[in-house]
Structure 1
């Protein structure tokens, strides 16, 4: 098991951790009823923080940021000789967490996406892990919620008896949600995004060979070019450029320059 703490990747503090280490952190927090904000970030997720001082503050105050994308894993290996043999891919982390939760009798809750996706996701999880307890789910409201609605959402999750909440609102909304709800919910909050659609069967995953080569982004771009072209065509080269500056020590990426949010976004 690898769990060697956080390292700076273009200003974002990413954990040097593997699947086993990440699942252990999540399950331990669930058993102890401790708040734990978790996200698995690929290049796009890292760049949302690198280009936004306030969001960088949110991400750097997460308890666990897993290296979801191969280029993020490669950065840790190149910069810090992390010797990570694999990334910690959000959809896989989701299944491994659910498998352990089922074995440990820890109930889960699903928040985000659409009703139809949530129902299919829940059905597929129950079929895969018959002992898994899913105490409920709420679809996204696809808008900002009021302070009162935020408290209602948190109360529904608490009242369900869940020990872990999976959050699928898309990046960076799900990370904002986990950051803002962490103090209200004494449990792990896993921002796992595409895992909802992948495991519901509404979106297909890239073949493993493309995933291993760090080309999952290309597969997704072909699937949804209008929605994703800016994310990949613009941000991927920008990431390589910034990482090159860090590797050559031509620019210092100081996480301490992040700026705390002055108000809540309250995505729902």
Structure 2
């Protein structure tokens, strides 16, 4: 069943991107805590779009998500070009905003992801920055798919914790499939934030703000991890640009005939 959506959407290669800003996305997360409905949120960049484009099941999950936020600037620019009220809503920034405001909003949080010890480090760091923050649970997943028994245990622990929001720091698309499996068994909002755990604990450095705003963060990340990311930025990203351009050409009107100029 497709989850309810609070936002206008715009299509990017078949993915329904939500027209969000950090403010509107964080406000929705706070609002959703008022009920016990399970929802999941995808944070999407060009790499994630291309993965969904080549995977029918992953594309189906994007259709089900309550919110699919634009992480990369190219996705923001496409939304703005379509006339949508959108700005970059990336995982680390959304996570930081929601957590730092939680002593006021009262949201309770669960961290699931990262290498051993990372979730605990993340909890300690945010509790120092936001006195009164309620991080009610942390867990580190194994580097393999969960067994049905393990999945049931994770869902039960989340429910026992009373968490309103579960931040999942696992790689894409593992985290998206995990959220879909957890959603029927929990009463919380699940948000896949990928490398945000590493960014906020300092194990991976983020690009300078000017590079993030100008759409050059990919260059920073490529130079930092060339062996792991070269295919993502040197092959998939150009292919994305080509596919978007082809879609725009297919959707554009043909040459106007002379009789179309007269009433």
TM-score (norm 1): 0.88
Which of 22, 25, 39 aligns to 1:22? It is 25
Secondary structure of the residue aligned to 2:144 is coil
1:113-136 Cα shifts (integer Å, max 9, x gaps): 112221221111111111111111
Find the aligned partners of 2:208 and 2:191 in 1 and give their Cα distance: 24
Secondary structure of the residue aligned to 1:206 is coil
Structure 2 partner of 1:139:
140
Find the aligned partners of 2:147 and 2:236 in 1 and give their Cα distance: 32
Find the aligned partners of 1:131 and 1:115 in 2 and give their Cα distance: 25
Find the aligned partners of 1:90 and 1:108 in 2 and give their Cα distance: 15
TM-score (norm 2): 0.90
- The Cα of 1:4 is off from its aligned counterpart by 4.1
| Structure 1: unaligned runs, 5 residues or longer | 252-268
Structure 1 partner of 2:35:
32
| Structure 2: unaligned runs, 5 residues or longer | 1-5, 253-263
Specify the structure having the higher radius of gyration (Cα).
2
- The Cα of 1:157 is off from its aligned counterpart by 1.1
Are 1:68 and 2:71 counterparts? Answer: yes
Structure 1 partner of 2:122:
121
Structure 2 partner of 1:197:
198
CA contact (8 A) 1:26 1:36 kept: no
Find the aligned partners of 1:9 and 1:89 in 2 and give their Cα distance: 17
1:172-209 Cα shifts (integer Å, max 9, x gaps): 11111112211211111011111100001111000011
Structure 1 partner of 2:229:
228
Structure 2 partner of 1:246:
247
- State the number of aligned residues: 247
Find the aligned partners of 2:46 and 2:169 in 1 and give their Cα distance: 18
Structure 2 partner of 1:53:
56
- Which structure would you say has the larger RCO, counting Cα contacts within 8 Å and 6 or more residues apart? 1
Secondary structure of the residue aligned to 1:28 is helix
